[in-house]
Amino acid sequence: MYLGSGRLLILIGVHIRAGLTTNQIERVVDIIKLNTDDAIPGKHHVQVEIETPDHELLDL
27 in any annotated domain: yes
Has residue 28 got a pLDDT over 90?
yes
Q: Quick check: 26 pLDDT over 70?
A: yes
Look at residue 59 and tell me if it is in a domain: no
Could you tell me the residue range of the domain that residue 39 belongs to?
2-53
Does residue 49 sit within a domain? yes
User: Which sign, positive or negative, has the C-alpha torsion 19, 22, 23, 28?
Assistant: positive
Residue 46 has pLDDT above 90, yes or no: no
Strands of 1-60, DSSP E: 2-4, 7-15, 43-51
The pLDDT assigned to 14 comes to: 92
For residue 56, the surrounding DSSP H or E stretch is: none
pLDDT attached to residue 16: 85
Instruction: Flag whether 28 is in a domain.
Output: yes
Q: What is the Cα–Cα distance from 33 to 6, expressed in whole angstroms?
A: 19
Our count of domains for the chain comes to 1
42 inside domain: yes
- From residue 14, alpha-carbon distances to 4, 21, 22, 47 in Å are 26, 15, 15, 11
Do the domain assignments include residue 60? no
pLDDT for res 55 = 77
In a domain, residue 31? The reply is yes
Q: What is the pTM of this model?
A: 0.70
Q: Is residue 35 part of a domain?
A: yes
pLDDT for 3:
58
